[in-house]
Chain A
Amino acid sequence: MNEIVIISGKGGTGKTSIAASFAAIGESKVLADCDVDASDLHLVLFPTVVDKGEFWSGKKARIEEGKCNECGLCQELCRFGAIRDFKVDHLSCEGCGFCFHACPAGAIVMEDVLSGYWFVSETRYGPLVHARLIPGEENSGKLVALVRQKAKALAEEKALKYIVTDGPPGIGCPVISSLSGAAMALLVAEPTMSGVSDLERAVGVCNHFGIPAAVCINKYDLNEEIGREIERYCSQRGIELVGKLPFDEAFVEAISKGVPVAEYSKGSIRNEIERIWETIATRVKKQ
């Protein structure tokens, strides 16, 4: 499957604007929003939900009052400081089950947790799989895996060539989960000091998991010196630089209007995004 995952290390570099633009430009694809704890793609694609479901994942401990003899063992054993005064703090409990197995009175139960929802939708650019993690919940990585699995099944069912995935920020669990086995990662970088260090860490994750990477610099004219530094970094590392986009209010205006920037701006921005799409689409096809 030709799955292209758009990530950025740091958030807010224009990942979603680019994903939405690929949605408008690319042919024959399923869209997947894997930024499950702050998904935004739906705000420019206006999906009509055709299928949805609950995402139950992980467990939390609960102490049954009548059965607990207040021996204090669970409190002593829990390494996450989640038990105090014979009550479990939901937000701290990691669901490890240590207390459940150890309690001599059998007073602890492990209960399933509703962690979020997944959706399969139709949009004017093709099918979209998205999700919403309930704030504060764990297992975003598993929800990401579920979104990708559904996107893949849809692509196979409808014989679509590409999956375009809007990835999560960071380098932790959800990012690792969105990358594993993907055809390629498009890293959207910003020419700022923090953008450079975030890019390096994102490249590190791609290398660690053996995912081919390409870089696109957004807002490149914000700081051309750092922009050149990113170009040098890419060429030293043998990472293909597939395009550069300007610091332009069109990005913000397009979001405000609820349309992909490549549709809002007909001129050079659209041309450049088209070029980027063709470059990476050709590259994943060859792989």
Chain B
Amino acid sequence: MIVSIASGKGGTGKTLVATSLALAVSKHASIQILDCDVEEPNANLFVRAPIESAEPVYIPTPQIDADKCSHCGRCAEVCAYHAIAVISDKVLVFPELCHGCGACSYLCPESAIVEANRQVGVVEIGYRGNLELIQGRLDIGEPMPTPVIRKVKTYADRQKDVVIDVAPGTSCPVVEAVKGSDYSILVTEPTPFGLNDLSLAVEMTRDLGIPCGVIINRASLSRDNLIEEYCRESEIPVLLKIPFDRDIATLYSKGIPLVERETRWRNAFLDLFDALKRGQLYVAYNA
């Protein structure tokens, strides 16, 4: 089963939930965690899996053979991202704009374009006990996280249980990470910001046709109603509440996983994962 952990808003505790689930399950069974928040990959701060191998992520970018090029301008015309310009007798390539689609090299009438790999990030793999961590990391200054996310996802093993830590927001890199999962857990907090961003995330999962449930982080009796009411109206289950608690926040700040400190939390996450696997998606838990 593939479960993606998303949140419209950043900093709601997505990584806390993803790593807690993965660590709790890994005590009994093998599981993969995919860190697809490639702009800020943080899951391994909690998982602490020693990295054993790394694979660079490339985008194939055009290189022009000046001897063959007739300056016809076809490449610049077909490139949808303005990554190539032909100026009188020169062809300029702007590598950061190139999506590596391959159109220019295929369509060049003189076969003057070959592709060279340009690195934009890296995928790293590590293990800790039953847990396999696959994390993507976008190089600084690179604008496009999607190729890195795509690469990370090629490691997902459908035979196993997989937890995906997704970037915040609802734009294309988020869709790329969430796509193909069997269930999406949306992490939010009981504030108007949390509610607004949650409703955007729900819209996204509905567009993708993926069932979802909500975890309320920094829950507080006086405020939770805001989210619970929305969930009731939208027929989305509230799966778990993690209280607004200074001790939990402090553990988090030190990178200490909650589930390794407190058995009741480990059990809560285990029960939640079991319920998801059994298809009992509408059960609410309170640890």
Contacts and interface: CB of A to CB of B under 8 A. Distances in A.
Interface of A: 8-13, 16, 37-38, 40, 43, 59, 77, 79-80, 91-92, 94-98, 101-102, 133, 135-138, 140-141, 168-174, 176, 190-195, 197-198, 201, 204-205, 208-209, 219, 222-223, 226, 247, 249, 252, 255-256, 258
Contacts, number: 192
B140 A11 contact: no
B42 A194 contact: yes
B141 A205 contact: yes
22 contacts: A9-B40, A12-B11, A13-B11, A37-B171, A38-B169, A38-B196, A38-B197, A77-B106, A91-B208, A94-B99, A102-B103, A133-B171, A135-B170, A138-B171, A140-B172, A172-B145, A191-B253, A192-B253, A197-B40, A198-B40, A223-B254, A256-B226
Given A173-B143, A197-B40, A197-B45, 9 more contacts: A10-B42, A38-B197, A94-B99, A98-B101, A101-B107, A136-B171, A197-B42, A223-B250, A256-B226
Interface stretch (B62-70, B199-207, B259-267): B199-207
A172 B192 CA distance: 26
Given A37-B171, A137-B171, A97 B144 contact: no
Nearest to B42: A194
B253 A193 contact: yes
B80 A96 contact: yes
A96 B84 CA distance: 13
Interface of B: 8-12, 15, 39-40, 42, 45, 78, 80-81, 99-103, 106-107, 138, 140-145, 167-175, 179, 189, 191-193, 196-197, 200-201, 203-204, 207-208, 218, 223, 226, 244, 246, 249-250, 252-255
A135 B210 CA distance: 14
Contacts of A190: 11, 253
B140 A201 contact: yes
Given A79-B102, A171-B140, A205-B140, A40 B9 contact: yes
B207 A194 contact: no
Interface secondary structure of A, over-half rule: loop
Contacts of A176: 141, 143
Closest 5 CB pairs of A and B: A11-B10, A12-B11, A96-B101, A170-B39, A98-B103
A136 B253 contact: no
